[in-house]
Structure 1
Amino acid sequence: MPVSNPGLSNDAFGACVRSVLEQSLPPDEYEVVFADDGSTDGTRRRLDAIAEQRDNVRVLHLDHSGSPARGRNVGLSVARGEYVYLLGQYDRLEPHALERMYDRAVETDADVLIGRIADQGPPPAAFARDRDRADVLRDHLLALPTAHKLFSRDFLETCQLRFADRPLSEQAFVTRAYLTAKVIAVLADEICCHLGPASPGTAEEETPDAEALFDGLNGIFDVVDAYTEPGSQRERIQAHWYRTLGLRRLAGARFLAAEPDERMILFSFLRRFTLDRFPAALDAHLPAHLRARTALLRLDRIDGLIALAEASRGTRLSADLRELRWDQGVLQLDLSVEILRAGGAPLWLRQRGDRLLWTPPPGAEGPLDGLLDDESADVTDAVRRARVEVCVRHVETGVIHSLPVTCSVGRAALGDQARVWVSGQARLDAGAAALGRPLPAGLWEVHVRMRGIRAGRTRVARPALPMSCAGALAGEPRRLVVPCWSERGELGVCVEPKSFPESIALVSSRATVARQEGHVFVVVPVPYVPPSGGPPAELVLREQDGRGRSMVVPALVEPGIPGRVAGQLVARVPVSRMGEDDCLGPGSWRPALRVDQKDVDLLFGLTVRRGGQVRLLPAGASPQAPSLLRRIVVRVLRERR
C-alpha cells in the first residue's frame, strides 16, 4: 500500500489500516507492506508504531516522489508472498478478502485474480458471475483498469511487470497484465474491496493535462501493440482506451467551460494522437456519436466539436416506471428507458429501409452536415443490442447490487424517423439480491443504466399516475420491504423500516388532501398494517410562519391488502380562514406523525390560502411568501378576533 500524507485523523485511512490488519488469515500467512512516500503529517510514526507491535507489518520510508508508482514498485520488489494485492490508502478490504481471493487463485492457478470491488457506480459486467478463465474482451475486463487485484508474484517477476514513471501508468500496467497472463480468474460472488476516495496519482483520480494524456495514451498503445497480434482484439482494446481516456474529454460541461487556449491545446494533442495512432479503419469499433468526434479531429474542425458539445448538452437518460407490483414476495419493476434531448424531446433516428442512422442533435446539423456517410452513421446493430441494467445502492454504505432484468427494444416510426426505447422488467428479491444473500436492512436507491444506443445512468422518477406503494413481508426470515420515493421523487426500497411510523413516512410523499365542510382530510398511504392494526397515531401540524402555532389531531389507520393495496392513515383537520388556535389557518404547515410520543417528519407540506383552499407541497418546497399587506391583514384579523 503506497501512503502519502493521508492525515492522521482521516477516518477512511484508519478504516483501511484496520481492514488489512484484521484479516481472517493468520498473521504469519500474510504481510502488509506500507510504502510511505515521504509523509510529513505524522503518518510515518504511526506506521512505525504499528510495525513494532506486529511482526507481519513492514514500513518502507521513501523520499517524496508525488506518485504511488514508485511506492508500488519498491513494495513489489521486497514482497515475499506467493501473491500480492495492491491497495490504495483510502480503500478497505472485507475481513475474509485475502483468504477468499488466495484460495480462489490457487484453485484456478490464476496469474491474476480479480476480486469483486464496490464503489459508487453500478457493478461492472465483469462481476456478473465467477469465472475460472476470463477473457479480456468477452468479460469486459478493461472496465476494471485499477490495480486492485491479486497478482502472482512469480508472474510479475517473470514478466518484469512494474509501473512506468509516466501518466496513466496504472492503466498501462493492468493492460499488460491482462494481455500476458495465462489465467485471469474473477471472484464475483463476494465483495472483497471497497474503493474509497481516490488517492493522488491513481487511475480513479488521474485527469492528466493534454500533454500528459498524449504521453499516457501512447504508452498504453505501445503496450497493446507489443502484446497483441494485428487484428480485431488489438483494434477493440485500442478503441476502448481511445474512447474512455481521449474522446470523452471532448464533450461535457468541463470541455465547454475551459478557456479557449486550454481547449485548443487539448484538441491539438488529441488530433495529433488520432492521426498518428488511430486510423479510420478503427472507427468501426466506436459508437456513431464518437465517430463524429473522431472525424472532426481528423478534419481539424474544433468549431464542429464545440457545436456538437453544445448541442449535446442536456442529453440525458429517462427511466419511467410503468408498473410496480408484488409477485410471490418479489417486487417487480416495469420500466421504460429512453434517451432524451435537452428540453425533454426524445432522441430521433433516421430510417433508411430497415436500417437506423444516427442524427446530429438539433443545433449541430450545419457543422456536421455530410460528416458521416450512411455506413458510419448506422446504429442498427447497437439498437438491437440495447439493454438496461438495474441496480440498488445502499444509502449508508454505498454497496451496490445488480438486479436481474429482462429487456426488449421498442420502436415507433414517424415518416423517415424512428424513436426507440428499451423496456425492462426488473425483479427485486430482498431475500437473495445481495449476491444470493438477503439485502441488509436500510434504504436502497434504485439506479438504471442503459447500454447499446448510448451509455447513461439515471434514477427512476416518481410516476405522475397514482401507483401502489404497498409493502410486503419477503424473504426468509420474513422482513418488511417497502417501495418508496425520496424527497426528490426518486424510487427507492426500504428493507426493514425502523418503526411503524417511519414506514409511513417513507411513502408520505404520496399523500392527498380533500376539503369537506370546514375540514380537510389528510390521507397518507400506509405500506403495511400489522395484524394488530398498529399503535394509536396522531398527526402533528406546525406552522412555518406567523405565530409558529402547532396543532395535534387524531389519525385513523385503515388496513389494506399486504403486497397489493396500501392501507391509509386519515386525519380530519379543521380549517379556518381566520386562523383560529384550534384550526388550520392561512400559511404553510409542516406535518409529522406522532406515535408513542415520538414524532417522525412526513415528506410533504400543506399550504392554506386566504380563501381556505388547502394544497399539498413536496418536501422542501417553499410556498410563495405572502405579501406584506396580506400578513398585516391576517395579523389584525387574528388580534381583533
Structure 2
Amino acid sequence: MPVKVSVVVPVYNPGPYIDPCIESLLGQTMAAEDLELIFVDDGSTDDSLAKLQAVAAEHPQVTVIPIPNSGWPGKPRNTGADQAKGDYVMFVDQDDTMEPEALERMHTLGAANGADVVLGKVISDFRGVNHEVYRSHRPSCTVFDAPLMESLTPHKMFRADFLREKGIRYPEGPRRLEDQLYMAKAYFAADTATIVGDYVCYRYLRRPDGGNAGSKRFDPAVYYANLREVLDVVDAHTEPGEGRDHFYRRFLRVELLGRLGGGKVLKHPEDYFDALLSEVRALLDERFPASVDAGMGAAMRVRAGIVRAGGREPIIALAKEYNAVKVAAQLTGMRWTEAGFELDVEARLTHRGNPLVLESRDGRLFLPRDVVGAACTDEERRVDDQLDSVHGDVVLRHRELRDEWFLPEPLLVQLEPSGSGQEVVWRGTALVDPASAAGGSPLRAGKQDFHLRIGAFGWARQQRLGAERVEGLSVPDVCVASDGRLVERFDTDPHGNLSLNVGISKERARTLVGRTGVRSASRTQVELVPGAHVEQGAAGTGTLTLRRADGHKSSWPVSTEGGRWVAGAPTGQAPLRPGTYALSLTAPGRWGAVSLSDVVVVTPFGVTSRPASSAPTGAERLTGLAAKLRRSVSR
C-alpha cells in the first residue's frame, strides 16, 4: 500500500524536548501504514540518535537517517525529502508538535483538491503567527488570491512529485531566510494550495530552556543579501507594477520597516542601528520603488519616507510615538442567549492616553502631526483613502494551549466627529457558541480569554477585553452550553478582564449557582439574581425553600420567564411571618439543591434581604427584643 504522507524532522541535540514531537507524530489518527516518519539526525552529540533508533525498532513507520553535522536544517530536510516514499512531504521541527487529526485532515483536503502545498492552522505560545492566513478554510487557492505569503515558515505539507518536478530544495549550510526562499519558490510554482483553517494542526512550543530557534540579532549585510534572493523569486514570477508591488509590501512591512519600529529598535546599540539602517536604505533604493510605499497604510508610508530620508533620531522619535498608539476598548453589553454568550464592544484609538483624532481638512483626513511628526508629507499621512481597509475583530484565545479563533461578526467601523476632526470607532457584537466556536467544532476545555484585534492605517493592535465596561453589566456566572458542557463566565483577578472557563465540573457549577442572590423580597414573592443562565424551556421551574430558625419551612416554585427568577407563594399558602429565613434553591436546570448566602428578614417594619454573615439589623434586634418580652410575659 503506498504511503500517503512522509513527515521529515531534522534533529540536532534536542534533548528531552523531542519527546512531545515524537509522541504527537506517533499519535496521529492517520493509519500507521499510510504514514512514514523520517528523523534525520544531523550529527547530534547527545543521546538523540540512540533514542530515535529505539523508537524505530518498535514502530515500523519510523525511519532514522544519521548524517554528518551540517550545522543547519536545510541539509536534513533535503535528505529526508529525497528519501520520502509518501505522496506528500510534511516538514516538522524537533521541538514542535502536531494535533492528532492534523496529518489526516491536511492530506485528505489537499489530495481532494490536487493541492501542491497544504497549510494547516498554526498556533504558538511564544512566536508571532499571522492568524489572518487561517481566518478562512480554503480548499483551493493560490498565492495570487490568498495571503499565503504571510506564512513563510516551512511547516507545511507539499506534494512530493511537485517538489521534485519543480526542483524545489533548501539551500544547505548556515544562512538566513532559507525558509522564505523555499516557501516563495513553492508558492509561486504551485497550481493550487489548500488552507486547513478549521482545526489547529501545528504548534510552535516554547522550550523551557529558551533553546528555540528564534529572532536573535543578525548581521544586517548577510540578512539583506539573502532577502535579495527571495525578492529575485518574486521578480521571476511577476511583472513590474502593482502585481509585484503587492508582494513587495509584505517584505517592506515586515523585513525592512518592521526592523526599525516597535520596542526592540529602541534598545539597539548605535553601531548596530546604523548598520541596520544602512542596509535597509540601500535595499529600499535598489529594489523598492515609491509605488510600493504608496499602497501601504499611512503609518507605514510615513515610516518609509523617514527611513528613506535617513537619520537615526527621526526614526527613533517616530518609533516612540507609534509605540504610544494604543486601542482603548470597553464592553457595553454582555448576556447569555440561546445561541451562546454575546458581548458588545466599542473601541477607539488613543495616543499617549488621549483620543487619537484624525485631522480633517478640505474633505480629507490625515494622521495627526503629534503622532507622525513634522517631517512627513500630507500625502504620506493621508488616511481617507484607506478607511475600507480598517478592520476589527474579537478573538477567543485558550489561555494554555493558545488556540485562537475569530468570533462572528467583524466589528463595524465608523467615523465620529471629535472637535475639529474625526475619531475612528469600532462597534459590534461578538458571539461565542462553545459547541462550535473552534472553526465549527467545540472549544477545547479550559480557560478562554477575550481579545480585541484591530488594524488601521498600518497599525495592528491587540488588547484584552473586559477590564473597562459600562456600569451595571451583570450576567449569571454559569451556563449549560448547547453541547451539554458547563461554562463559567468570570472576571480575572486582579485586572478584571473577561474570560470563559469551558467544561467546568458540576461541583464548580453548583458553587456558582450558590452565588444566586436576592434582588427584592416581599412576604409572598422573592426575585433572585440568577447564578446560572437557563435556556428557555429547559427544566421549567425550580424551588426556593425558605426556612426559619424555629424550623418552619416554606417551599415556593421558581419561574424563569424572560430570564428572571421569581419565587412566589403558591395560592392559598400564608405569607411569610416575621423572622429570618435561610434560603436553599433547587435551581432550574440540572444543578441540584444549593444553599444561598443571602437571607430574607421579615419584620413588622418590612421585608429585607442581606448576606447571612451580616450582623442583625436594628429592626431585627427590635423584633428579637419584642419576642423576648412576649416570652417573659408568658412566663
TM normalised by structure 2 equals 0.77
2:141 is paired with a residue whose SS is: coil
User: Is it true that 1:179 corresponds to 2:188 in the alignment?
Assistant: yes
Structure 2 CA distance, aligned partners of 1:271 and 1:569? 68
Structure 1 CA distance, aligned partners of 2:249 and 2:171? 22
8 A contact 1:450–1:457 mirrored in 2? yes
Q: Which has the larger radius of gyration?
A: 2
Structure 2 CA distance, aligned partners of 1:388 and 1:245? 24
Q: Note the 1:158-557 alignment, pairs <5 A.
A: 158-165=165-172, 166-197=175-206, 205=215, 208-342=218-352, 344-362=353-371, 365=373, 369-372=374-377, 374-453=378-457, 454-462=459-467, 463=469, 465-471=471-477, 473-487=479-493, 488-501=495-508, 526-527=531-532, 531=542
* Aligned residue number for residue 6 of structure 1: 14
Structure-2 change in CA distance of 1:337 and 1:330 (3 Å): same
Structure-2 change in CA distance of 1:122 and 1:84 (3 Å): closer
Structure-2 change in CA distance of 1:318 and 1:527 (3 Å): farther
Structure 1 CA distance, aligned partners of 2:543 and 2:45? 62
Deviations along 1:579-611, one digit per CA (max 9) or x if unpaired, are: xxxxxxxxxxxxxxxxxxxxxxxxxxxxxxxxx
Question: Displacement of 1:14 after TM fit?
Answer: 1.2
Amino acid corresponding to residue 380 of structure 1 in structure 2: D
Amino acid corresponding to residue 279 of structure 1 in structure 2: P
Amino acid corresponding to residue 5 of structure 1 in structure 2: N
Q: Note the 1:563-574 alignment, pairs <5 A.
A: 569-570=597-598, 571-573=611-613
Structure-2 change in CA distance of 1:573 and 1:27 (3 Å): closer
The size of the alignment, in residue pairs, is 534
Structure 2 CA distance, aligned partners of 1:473 and 1:384? 38
Question: Displacement of 1:499 after TM fit?
Answer: 4.5
Deviations along 1:114-154, one digit per CA (max 9) or x if unpaired, are: 12223346772332333232132532212222112110111
2:138 is paired with a residue whose SS is: coil
Structure 1 CA distance, aligned partners of 2:514 and 2:235? 56
Structure 1 CA distance, aligned partners of 2:445 and 2:582? 28
1:381 is paired with a residue whose SS is: coil
Amino acid corresponding to residue 449 of structure 1 in structure 2: R
1:432 is paired with a residue whose SS is: coil
Structure-2 change in CA distance of 1:25 and 1:313 (3 Å): closer
RMSD across aligned C-alpha pairs, in angstroms? 3.3
Structure 2 CA distance, aligned partners of 1:125 and 1:267? 29
Structure 1 CA distance, aligned partners of 2:390 and 2:585? 44
Question: Displacement of 1:75 after TM fit?
Answer: 1.4
Structure-2 change in CA distance of 1:501 and 1:327 (3 Å): closer
8 A contact 1:403–1:426 mirrored in 2? yes
1:426 is paired with a residue whose SS is: strand
Amino acid corresponding to residue 361 of structure 2 in structure 1: R
Structure-2 change in CA distance of 1:136 and 1:318 (3 Å): farther
8 A contact 1:329–1:473 mirrored in 2? no
8 A contact 1:6–1:43 mirrored in 2? yes
Structure 2 CA distance, aligned partners of 1:57 and 1:161? 25
Q: Note the 1:144-159 alignment, pairs <5 A.
A: 144-159=151-166
Structure-2 change in CA distance of 1:466 and 1:220 (3 Å): same
1:80 is paired with a residue whose SS is: coil
Match of 1:26 among 31, 38, 53: 31
8 A contact 2:37–2:63 mirrored in 1? yes
Structure-2 change in CA distance of 1:558 and 1:532 (3 Å): closer
Structure-2 change in CA distance of 1:496 and 1:101 (3 Å): closer
1:380 is paired with a residue whose SS is: coil
Structure 2 CA distance, aligned partners of 1:206 and 1:572? 59
Question: Displacement of 1:83 after TM fit?
Answer: 0.9
* Aligned residue number for residue 557 of structure 2: none
TM normalised by structure 1 equals 0.76
* Aligned residue number for residue 584 of structure 1: none
8 A contact 1:558–1:569 mirrored in 2? no
Deviations along 1:63-98, one digit per CA (max 9) or x if unpaired, are: 333321221122122222211001111221222322
Question: Displacement of 1:429 after TM fit?
Answer: 1.2
Give % identity: 29
Structure 2 regions of 5+ residues with no counterpart? 1-8, 519-527, 535-540, 548-580, 590-594, 599-610, 616-635
8 A contact 1:441–1:495 mirrored in 2? yes
Structure 2 CA distance, aligned partners of 1:256 and 1:435? 39
Structure 2 CA distance, aligned partners of 1:54 and 1:558? 56
Question: Displacement of 1:466 after TM fit?
Answer: 2.7
8 A contact 1:411–1:421 mirrored in 2? yes
1:25 is paired with a residue whose SS is: coil
